[in-house]
Structure 1
Amino acid sequence: MDAEQADALASTVGRDYTAPHYKYHDDPYLIPSSNIGKRTFALSKESGRKAAQWIRQEHSKLFQHRHADPPIEEFYPRPVYDENSEVTEDTLKKVIGDVSVSDAITVYQLLEKKGEVVSESTKQSFLELLCYYNGDDALPEDLIEERWFRQGTRARERQRKTWKDNGVAETVFRSIEPSTSAAYCALLQGMTRHYQVDRAWQLFEEMNHKGIPLTTEAYNSLIRVTSYLREGMEQRWRLVEELLVAMAKQGLQPNVGTLNSALENVSTMGLQRQAKTYALRTLAEFRKIGVDPSLASYYFLLNTFCKERGPTSSILVDIMSHIKGRSFTIQDPKDTFFFVTAMDLCRNHLHDKDLAWSVDALLHTGNNYDLIGDSYKESIYYRNLFALLCSTEPFEVFMEFYNKMVPNIYIPEPGIMELGRIRTVGLIKLTSEETDFEDSWCGRNSREEVLRAVDLNGAMDQFPRLWSDMVIFDHTDRENLVTDILAGMVRNQPPSEDLTAKFAKVAWDIWTKLETQDQERYRQLRCTGPILGDVMILCLRAGDFPKASMVLRKLDKEQQKVLGVPKLAALQLFLETCIANKDVTNAIVSV
């Protein structure tokens, strides 16, 4: 069965939302149930793979048996090249093909020392490898999980010059005689890729002076960094136009990379109205010559029109009407930014649930989910979707979606769990933007703004479910979450004894955690008066006076350790219960 047949069969089967990802062991006790657990599990497997590769490399003599026919090179230790190694140009070609940058540098230097002649075509391939990776080894392709969890962090790194001046790449470039257009373009693209823009521009002027033609990709790389070459908006755009005119004079056909480079440049021009004009004009001109935008093109349009402090723009609505139902393939690295940005705008810019559903439908069309990017973007995407649906959809619709996606597709961060709790007890007005992956919190109004959402939605039975999820997702050390879920259960007294007992069990679970938590742990659930007071109320409602008495004794004996005081209603209910039970001792303590 080939890959196309496998893809065809896979397309006939929908996503199983009840099953965890296949990379986890098929064992309920081993399947991670929190974000940190998923990351730790996946990277631990990757670490084990790295350890095995290290042992194989360090003890290579023990792994020389070759039973497979034909041999599988990935199973064997990598050759180690030193001064005693017998290397040829074919050796250099092989390590270049294997994308082993450090080995390629070593082999090339050995060939230079031995006076071996390296062909210009091999030097060109070597130069392109050095320029693309800046002389550093690439992350191996088989380390899938590290790529998945690493790319989000790297994408957020500040763009800065990382090019290695006077490094091996420039040495190889100078060794190519006569200098060719391909060599110049490779070096120019390497410099712009790693933000050595001043020297890249000098190289461009040198090529013009010598009459050396550029490729479309070289022009694209220059257009992308024009914001670093000119300060004013008009000066930047004038330079972009000059480069496009130069391409036309040279007879080069612009492509989607040219379009995206121009739009990316425009998206950095701030709140100017002219930037929007430039963007639309560019898009129209490229459509005339048959260049179809990629998702990155639409991402740059969103950045141009939907500024945080600018006026509200509905351009996303127009974009979605144009690309609805289409299946995309990766054409630009920034293609992976479209979906997360679109969902962020649905929530924070337009507050439009219908548009959010359209974006989500597009994400699940064809193989578009491959363009979600990485773990960070996926988490931000679902965070915004959940937050928007929580504040706009009927509670039953939101919980249906919640039950479908959690926990195998998405595990809500504490901020989203709080939003779910807010919707359950009826708090309104969602504010703030989450910026941290784990500690993102959405704002909320004061407790006076409580609605009758419980009465309207009949959602009291969701409190035990939310607590169960908090335990599974390792959110039980979040003081504000614990305080809020207790307060919600206290405010909404259930009509049935069964639900009252469940509320009391949740309260006692919280008490048990307070009493048994590891005191050396960095993040702990603080023991506060409001928490203990709510635990007392819920225990008393369930008729469990002995447990409520234990809580009161803690309040009495450890007053200096308990932060704050319990609510008056908690002490009053306890006193009334003491009077009913004729318990004078505890009554005196409560007073």
Structure 2
Amino acid sequence: MAAHGKHVGHYIHQNSRIILCNFEQFLVRRNFGWSAAVCQQNAPAPREAAEAIVVPKKKTWSKEAVLQALAATVNRDSTAAHYMFQDDPYLTPRTSAEFKLYSLSQESGRLAAKHIVNTNPKFFQKDFAEPHIPCLMPETMEPRIEDVSEAALLERIMLRKVKAAVDMYDQLLQAGTTVSTDATNDLLDLICLYGDHDPLQDDKPEVEDVDKGRRRKGRPQRAIDLVKIVWRENNNAERIFNLLPERDTRAYSALIRGMVKYGAHVKAFNTYTDMLNNRLTADVHIFNALISAATEVREKYNEKWDLIVELLKQMNEQKVKPNLLTFNAVLKALRRCGSLARAQSLHTLSEMKALGITPSLASFHHVLGIFYKTVSSLQGQTDILQEVLTEVAGRSFVPQDPDDVYFFSTAMRICLETKDLESAYRVHNLLNVGENWRLLGDSFQQSIYYGRFFNLLCMMEHIDVVLKWYNELIPSLFYPNPQGMKDLLQALDTDNRLDMIPQIWKDIRRMGHDNKSDLVEELLSLMARDRHSPEVQESFAACALDVRSLYKQGQVAKVALEWTTASMTNITTILLAAQKTKQAWDMLNIFKTKNRVPSEELIDEFLVRIKDGQQAVELVQISASFCLPSTPNLAQRVLQEFELSEEQRNIVSELEVATHDNE
């Protein structure tokens, strides 16, 4: 019995080891991070070997691992609104204008709430969140240290109070207090970062612009305002830098980068020369800034490139290892170096790979910008694009350079201009790898990218594929502009699917493009051009009447549409084709009201549809009132084809004679 129990125990022990190994192999196949060596380590050993079970080290998961795993099990709902609007479905935008208004309003509300919380932190001390969420707690926005000390200086630097920090630094010097080198360098970093101006706080509006002498209340600072900041002569950064008893590389780095950022390029190079004269070695940030400024201090293309090469040689001499931003600065500068840029850009990419530096999306963005700079350079030049897409295929990227967000829109622009649909699909597939979609940029960049992609689809794809993408992208990812809707109408025309125009018209109205006269007239002309089945003509007529309701006799309440001869003619033709004679007759009255002359073809079309003699007489009268040359022939046809009373015949005959005399 004991022997039997020992045998059963050994059997369970051996099988448990096999089950453990199989489970570990399953984890390996599921990419849970355990290597095959672990399974081999735990494989069943001979009976004479030690039978101790080795427990593998546990896997450390990130806090978002469960959420990421759950998110990977579902796809995006193309019929749902953008995730940023899920909190309030009632206000979900339907047009691009509403999207912009909602987005700005939402961001404005966040900033307003943040301003109230940070301005009155004493009212928001209770923390009900579990676990504690520090980012939701009030921030310290005002200095708390009042005495003159280095701690007060560091506090103002941390709060990004440029003027207050400079004032505290001056007070410390006047009091005879020595400020540490690190604190002084921190102050220099702050001043050079913001150009010797106080930055606009994220939660505060800009109240007044003293430089322009006018008030601007409640308006956030724009990027154009930042561009206007220039490097002033002998500003606080230069003054504090000159007061330093010993100037190290970090101080020079802050000053040079600030000069480059705010346009003092020549002065930056002079400061760099002064640093070399003081027997100091530059850091990689100095070289990156100088490389980006090289194209501003030289005029000729070869001189610009020679200066960049000289800076790279100095990096090598000073044993400064370049980083990704160094090579991206070189590639960006090459975009302004003319014809020599192509060969040198490929050489730069080779140097990056030789040093083990993986190019980012910004690197490839600059390369594409070099090879596809003009429209003429796009013709027959898709090899570089193909090589770039092969290089980045299947890779997931993370933000490493501010210019990373321009790669997808640039690549799609090239695909559109070269009409390369296959490459466009490759670009879009790359966008869907991992979290590459985060590198698409803000809503403006996203609209550019998807607009170009949809435009190319409308030109090159079959209409069924176009409509599939139309339902996939719109409006969950972007709102097409009027040109995008015109492209869709042209795609419907190319594949003879004009029967879908009434449905597209509903989307045009929903997106707020029904006030674009060129788009509306394009739609009307497509419906009026050919004849279709009675069902399609009926839907066209309903659509035309809906369009007519927008005009309001030329005075429109909500949309800016005005009658044109083409729009009136097309609507009338559509109504006549659908046997809507009464509504078409109303359109003739609009012709008279607007002093517009209908075409002779339209009058002939009316005559074919009319079955009443009185209306035929009125048609001749209308034709005569417009002095149409075809009025005599029209009168003769009416006299021959309609049963008229004596009075009606006299009227038509008089009109025929009168028009003959006028001729």
Interval of TM-score (by shorter of Structure 1 and Structure 2): 0.7 to 0.9
1:424 aligns with 2:462: no
1:123 alignment counterpart: 184
> Match for residue 518 of structure 2?
480
1:494 and 2:532 are equivalent in the alignment: yes
SS at match of 2:91: coil
Cα distance in 1 for residues equivalent to 2:552 and 2:100: 29
Give the counterpart of 1:337 among 382, 389, 406. 406
Distance 1:50 1:460 in 2: 47
Q: Is the 8 A contact 2:78 2:471 kept in 1?
A: no
Q: 1:136 deviation in Å?
A: 4.1
Distance 1:577 1:99, change over 3 A: same
CA shift at 1:39, angstroms? Answer: 0.7
The one-letter code sitting in structure 2 at the alignment partner of 1:463 is: I
The answer to which of 295-304 and 509-518 deviates more is: 509-518
Counterpart Cα distance in 2 of 1:385 and 1:74: 39
- The 8 Å contact of residues 323 and 357 in structure 2, kept in 1 or not, is answered as yes
Aligned counterparts of 1:363 and 1:103: Cα–Cα separation in 2: 45
Q: Which moved more, 1:158-167 or 1:248-257?
A: 158-167
Q: Structure 2 vs 1, CA of residues 404 and 517 (structure 1 numbering), >3 Å: closer, same or farther?
A: farther
Task: Tell me how far apart the structure 2 counterparts of residues 4 and 101 of structure 1 sit (CA, whole Å).
Answer: 41
Secondary structure of the equivalent of 1:214? coil
1:460 matched to 2:493? no
Question: Which residue number in structure 2 is paired with residue 44 of structure 1?
Answer: 105
Match of residue 549 from structure 2: 512
Say whether the 8 Å CA contact 1:127–1:187 is kept in structure 2: yes
Q: 1:161-205 CA deviation, whole Å, 9 max, x = no partner?
A: 733443332233234331111001111111112221011011011
Q: C-alpha displacement at 1:56, in angstroms? A: 5.7
Q: In structure 1, give the amino acid aligned to 2:545.
A: W
Q: Rate the CA distance shift 1:92–1:542 in 2: closer, same or farther, 3 A.
A: farther
- Give the direction of change, closer, same or farther, for the CA distance of 1:176–1:520 in structure 2 (3 Å limit): farther
Distance 1:569 1:248 in 2: 80
How far apart are residue 475 of structure 1 and its match?
Answer: 0.8
Report how far residue 525 of structure 1 moved. 1.0
Q: Which residue number corresponds to residue 77 of structure 2?
A: 16
CA contact (8 A) 1:266 1:279 kept: yes
Which residue of the other structure, out of 164, 171, 196, is the alignment partner of 1:135? Answer: 196
Q: 1:72 to 1:157 in 2, by over 3 A?
A: closer
Contact persistence 1:95–1:104 (CA under 8 A): yes
Report if the CA contact (8 A) 1:579-1:587 is conserved: no
Q: Is the Cα contact below 8 Å between 2:117 and 2:124 reproduced in 1?
A: no
Provide, for residues 342-393 of structure 1, a one-character-per-residue CA deviation record: whole Å limited to 9, x for no partner.
0000111x21000000001101111111111222221111111111111111
1:36 and 1:550 mapped to 2: Cα distance?
34
* CA contact 2:398–2:436 (8 Å) conserved in 1: yes
Report what 2:562 is aligned to. Answer: 526
**Residue 471 of structure 1 corresponds to which residue in structure 2?**
509
| d(CA) in 2 for partners of 1:71, 1:465 | 48
Q: Deviations over 1:49-85 (max 9, x none)?
A: 3444555677x49x54522287958654755469x94
C-alpha separation in 1, matches of 2:199 and 2:435? 26
How far does residue 99 in structure 1 lie from its aligned partner after superposition?
4.3
Partner of 2:207: none
Which deviates the most, 2-11 or 468-477?
Answer: 2-11
26-35 or 387-396: which moved more? 26-35
Count of aligned positions: 541
1:539·1:545 contact (CA, 8 Å) conserved in 2? yes
1:394 to partner: Cα distance: 0.9
The structure 2 residue matched to 1:572, chosen from 580, 597, 604, is 604
| Pair 184,534 (structure 1): closer, same or farther in 2 beyond 3 Å | same
Q: 2:393 aligns to what?
A: 324
Question: Quick one: structure 1 residues 344 and 163, their matched pair in 2 at CA, closer, same or farther if it must change by over 3 Å?
Answer: same
SS for the counterpart of 2:85 is coil
SS at match of 1:225: helix
What's 1:555 paired with?
A: 591
Gapped regions of structure 2 (runs ≥ 5): 1-61, 205-218, 624-663
Comparing 505-514 and 274-283, the one that deviates more: 274-283
Deviations along 1:311-346, one digit per CA (max 9) or x if unpaired, are 332201111111101011111111111111000001
Q: Does structure 2 retain, via aligned residues, the 8 Å contact 1:134–1:163?
A: yes
- 1:398 is paired with a residue of what secondary structure? helix
Amino acid in structure 1 at the alignment position of 2:127: A
CA deviation vs aligned residue, 1:285-306 (integer Å, no higher than 9, x gap): 2221212211111111111111
User: Which residue matches 1:146?
Assistant: none
Matched, 1:66 2:116: no
Give the number of the structure whose alpha-carbon radius of gyration is greater: 2
| TM-score, normalization by structure 1 | 0.83
Q: Which residue of 2 aligns with 1:33?
A: 94
Over 3 Å counting, the alpha-carbon distance change for 1:328 and 1:91 in structure 2 is same
Counterpart of 1:535 in structure 2: which amino acid? I
Q: Partner of 2:216 in structure 1?
A: none
Contact 1:188–1:218 (CA under 8 A) maintained in structure 2: yes
Instruction: Give the match for residue 536 of structure 1.
Output: 572
1:460-493 Cα deviation digits (max 9, x unpaired)? 2220122111101111111111111011011233
Equivalent pairs: percent with the same residue? 29
- Deviates further, 382-391 or 580-589: 580-589
Give me the whole-angstrom Cα distance separating, in 2, the residues matched to 1:116 and 1:16. Answer: 63
Alpha-carbon contact 2:111-2:202 (below 8 Å) kept: no
For residue 498 of structure 2, give the secondary structure of its aligned residue in structure 1.
coil
TM-score w.r.t. length of structure 2: 0.75
Alignment correspondent of 2:268? 200
Q: CA RMSD in A?
A: 3.1
Is 2:413–2:452's contact at 8 Å kept on the other side of the alignment? yes
Q: Which has the higher contact order (CA 8 A, sep 6+)?
A: 1
